[in-house]
Structures are given as structure tokens and as C-alpha cells.
């Protein structure tokens, strides 16, 4: 069988999947001339029939519960073999449609590889998908990195707001409003830590950026802990002092 790149259609109608080939159904070539002639054979063609001449890269689009491998297709053995493990293509398509573009590519390549890479076009498709996966992953790392930096900057800004307020306020006047400022700083800091965890094992070419970002988060965390300890100690001291003033007041009254 000759390798001929070709595209056809799978469409869902009333929650049922059907196969169409508008190209082959519109006409044919004869003596190097295109002859326009509608052929209904390729309209809602049964999957068991279309698999004789059409094999998609991703087995789920065969719409078969017992998918045919590439080697079987090219050996003319594209038959419904119920001795194979049952494959629920409907559920697989539903799950596939819920995935992100990156996860879709990863799932497709997993199925292509499992279905064997007998065909040269399948091998090229697999390699092209790998390149796309690498691109998506790199973009994803950059996006997460930028989000991490944004959350870290918000945390640093909020900690500095606390420090400015602390320096301009007598310690006895520090209140739980200052505690709320640090809660906000901690919230942004935790978000940056969570995002960093997602990219620490990223591509080596991003290693230095991530290493420096990690150091910045650690330094910010150290600063946050120091400010939090200071605030907690001050609030505790203020509470004891207020209690002492309260008892001294009643002692004088008595």
C-alpha cells in the first residue's frame, strides 16, 4: 500500500460518532483528470469498512472497540479482532476533549507509540508532536515563572509595607491590622512557593533563572519569618502590659 497523506472527518451527531471522507466522496482521478462525482459510500461510512483504506494516527479516531495497528493495516489485516483487549473509544474521546492542548498531544503520542510506529508518516507525526510538546512545555514554564515572580514581588511589597508601618509606629500601637498585612504577604509567598515547585525540574536552560528565583523566595521567606516573630512578640508583650495596666487601675481604685 502506498503512503498517501490524507485528511478525513470524524463528527459527533446526537452523541454518536460518524466518519466522512468529503474528498473521496466528491470525485476521483482518471487519466490525470479530476472527475467530479458524488459518492455516498464515504458519507457516514462504517468504521469497520473505512479502516480498510483509512488509518488515523491516533487510534481513538478509528472509532473501533478493537483498534487496528499500523502493521496490521499495511499487511491487509484490518479486521475486527475481538481477541484484542476491549477499547472504549467513546470514553477516550470524552476524556481527550477535556484535556489541555499539551495534555492532548501527550495522550496522542502515547497511543501512537502503543499502536506501533510501523509507518513512516506515523513516525514523523510522533516526532512533530514531540516538538510541539516541548514548545508547549517551555511556554508553560515561562508562564509559571512569570506568575511566580509576580506573586513574589507582591509578597516583598507587602512585607515592605509592614516594615514601613512598623518603623513609623510605636510598638505599643502595633495591632492585629499589622498582622493582616503579614497574612497577605504570607499568602503571596506561599503562592510563589507552590508555583516554583512546578518548574524546579524544568529544562536545564532555565536552571539559572529558577535557581536565582528560588534564592529570592528563600530570602523573602527569611525576612517574613523575622517580621512575623517580631510582630507576635510585640502583640504578646502589649497584651501583658495592657493586662497589667488593667489590674493596677483596679488596685488603685480599691
Question: How far is residue 105's CA from residue 109's CA, in Å, rounded to a whole number?
Answer: 6
For 133-171, b where at least 16 C-beta lie within 10 A, e where not — what string?
A: beebeeeebeebbeebbebbebbbebbeebeeebeeeee
Strand order in the sheet with 43-45: 9-13, 16-20, 43-45
Residues 6+ apart with CB under 8 A from 124: none
* Residue 185: exposure state from Cβ atoms within 10 A (0-12, 13-18, ≥19): buried
- pLDDT for the residue numbered 241: 60
Instruction: List, run by run, the mean pLDDT of 10-residue segments along the chain (254 residues).
Output: 76 95 92 92 95 93 94 86 90 95 94 82 92 92 95 97 84 75 96 92 81 96 94 77 44 41
Question: How far is residue 165's CA from residue 162's CA, in Å, rounded to a whole number?
Answer: 5
pTM confidence score: 0.70
Question: How far is residue 103's CA from residue 69's CA, in Å, rounded to a whole number?
Answer: 23
Rounded (5°) CA angle 74-119-78: 30
Question: How far is residue 126's CA from residue 192's CA, in Å, rounded to a whole number?
Answer: 35
* Residue 34: exposure state from Cβ atoms within 10 A (0-12, 13-18, ≥19): exposed
- pLDDT for the residue numbered 120: 83
H or E stretch at 248: helix 207-253
Residues 6+ apart with CB under 8 A from 46: 19
Amino acid at each position: 500500500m502506498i503512503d498517501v497523506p490524507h485528511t478525513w472527518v470524524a463528527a459527533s451527531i446526537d452523541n454518536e460518532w460518524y466518519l466522512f471522507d468529503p474528498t473521496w466522496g466528491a470525485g476521483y482521478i482518471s487519466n490525470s483528470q479530476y472527475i467530479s462525482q458524488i459518492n455516498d459510500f464515504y458519507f457516514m461510512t462504517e468504521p469497520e469498512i473505512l479502516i480498510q483504506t483509512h488509518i488515523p494516527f491516533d487510534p481513538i479516531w478509528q472509532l473501533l472497540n478493537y483498534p487496528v495497528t499500523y502493521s496490521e493495516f499495511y499487511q491487509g489485516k484490518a479486521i475486527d479482532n475481538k481477541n484484542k483487549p476491549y477499547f472504549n473509544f467513546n470514553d477516550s474521546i470524552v476524556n481527550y476533549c477535556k484535556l489541555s492542548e499539551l495534555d492532548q498531544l501527550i495522550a496522542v503520542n502515547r497511543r501512537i507509540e502503543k499502536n506501533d510506529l510501523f509507518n513512516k508518516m506515523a513516525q514523523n507525526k510522533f516526532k512533530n508532536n514531540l516538538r510541539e510538546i516541548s514548545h508547549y512545555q517551555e511556554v508553560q514554564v515561562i508562564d509559571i515563572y512569570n506568575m511566580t515572580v509576580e506573586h513574589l514581588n507582591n509578597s516583598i511589597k507587602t512585607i515592605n509595607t509592614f516594615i514601613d508601618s512598623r518603623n513609623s509606629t510605636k510598638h505599643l500601637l502595633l495591632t492585629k491590622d499589622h498582622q493582616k498585612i503579614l497574612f497577605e504577604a504570607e499568602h503571596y509567598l506561599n503562592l510563589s512557593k507552590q508555583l516554583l515547585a512546578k518548574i524546579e525540574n524544568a529544562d536545564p536552560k532555565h536552571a539559572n533563572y529558577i535557581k536565582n528565583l528560588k534564592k529570592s523566595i528563600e530570602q523573602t521567606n527569611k525576612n517574613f519569618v523575622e517580621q512575623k516573630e517580631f510582630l507576635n512578640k510585640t502583640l504578646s508583650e502589649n497584651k501583658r502590659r495592657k493586662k497589667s495596666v488593667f489590674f493596677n487601675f483596679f488596685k488603685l481604685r480599691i
